[in-house]
Amino acid sequence: MKHTYKKIMRWTGALLSAATMTTVAWAADYPDKPIRMIIPFAAGGPTDTLGRSLADEMAKRLGQKVIVENKPGAGGNVGSGLFAKMPADGYSVMLDTNGPLVANPLFMKDITFDPDKDFDPVSFVAYLPNMIAVHPSVPVHSVKELIKLLKDNPNKYSFASGGLGTSTHFAGELFKTMAGVQMTHIPYKGDGASMPDVVGGQVPIVFGSIFAAKRYTDSGMLRGIAVTSKDRVPSVPDMPTVAESDLPGYDLTAWYGLVVPAGTPKPIIKKLSDTVQAITASASFKERVESMSGITKGNSPEEFAKFIKSEHPKWKKLIEESGIKNNN
């Protein structure tokens, strides 16, 4: 009996060793065909632009095409749900945001994925701050004036965002909560989709990425009021933060990271993470992201997983205090 048990253990050990060697060898040859990058937001917005820049750099370093596919809808949930069902073979990656990865599952009921169970973190990629802007017809030039206008006209004004559950949506909700004002939320399928309606005057106020809004504020088609990040942003140095304007403590910034379907072999995840970290540290990619008013940051899968976990209390508190509902 003991002899049989030892034999079984040797066979098991041999099989595990062979499987490990096969996985390592597979990772060494990886990738040997094109990779799909899912962007769960519409083309033309900050996630799409950042993702395509990252895909270009990944293709150069990995020696294979990285094909971007936009799957927008429901604040990133449609694309994230589709991605959760893709093969965990390293040939599907997704650039996602703090909406689907943290916030949305905390307040939305019809989520078809569990970010903690369905995705494996690869690396952080970048922060992209947002701004508050208004149509020129709105008679305000500062956060203080905007708060007064909204208090004098409760529920008369609406604000556009890049979609339900996005950082721009939460930026608006945090503003409402901290300022004690009322506005109607108008969600769009990405910041690129929201701007034309605000420029056209259909929606008077927008919480959007600086990347998407800056071309319109620079041209005078929109009036920039403040940035939503903790610190001022170099690309718009004269624009104050919301916190320094009239709401101390206000801070809400979008972040972006790369994930793969859960179960993707760890050697492949490491190879992808090492590639992303090298890209985010490169001068050319930093310059490209800075042109989007962003800040690059790469890290290990373990560090990214720890960061995602640390974000849960912050977003849970915001959701509870703001009273955000799925039908907002």
**Length of the chain, please?**
328
Q: Specify whether 157 is located in the same domain as 200.
A: yes
Query: What's CA 220's distance to the chain center, in Å?
Result: 28
pLDDT at 269: 98
CATH code of the domain covering residue 278 = 3.40.190.150
- The domain tally of the chain equals 2
pLDDT at 327: 46
Query: What's CA 301's distance to the chain center, in Å?
Result: 16
Burial (CB < 10 A; 0-12, 13-18, 19+), residue 249, is: exposed
pLDDT tens, the chain, 328 aa long? 545 545 555 655 545 444 444 445 556 799 999 999 999 998 988 899 999 999 999 999 999 999 999 999 888 999 999 999 999 999 999 999 999 999 999 988 889 999 999 999 999 999 999 999 999 999 999 999 999 999 999 999 999 998 888 899 999 999 999 999 999 999 998 888 899 999 999 999 999 999 999 999 999 999 999 999 989 998 999 999 999 998 999 999 999 999 999 999 999 999 999 999 999 999 999 999 999 999 999 999 999 999 999 999 989 988 888 777 654 4
User: CA-CA distances (angstroms) from residue 37 to 10, 27, 112, 128, 286?
Assistant: 41, 18, 19, 19, 20
- Coil, strand, or helix at residue 228? coil
pLDDT at 240: 97
Strand pairing category for 158-161 and 254-261? unpaired
Q: Specify whether 134 is located in the same domain as 228.
A: yes
Q: Specify whether 89 is located in the same domain as 115.
A: yes
pLDDT at 21: 47
Backbone φ/ψ region at 201: left (φ over 0), alpha (ψ -120 to 50), beta:
left
Asked which of 245, 279, 296 is the last residue of a domain, the reply is: 245
Q: Which domain holds residue 189?
A: 130-245
CATH code of the domain covering residue 190 = 3.40.190.10
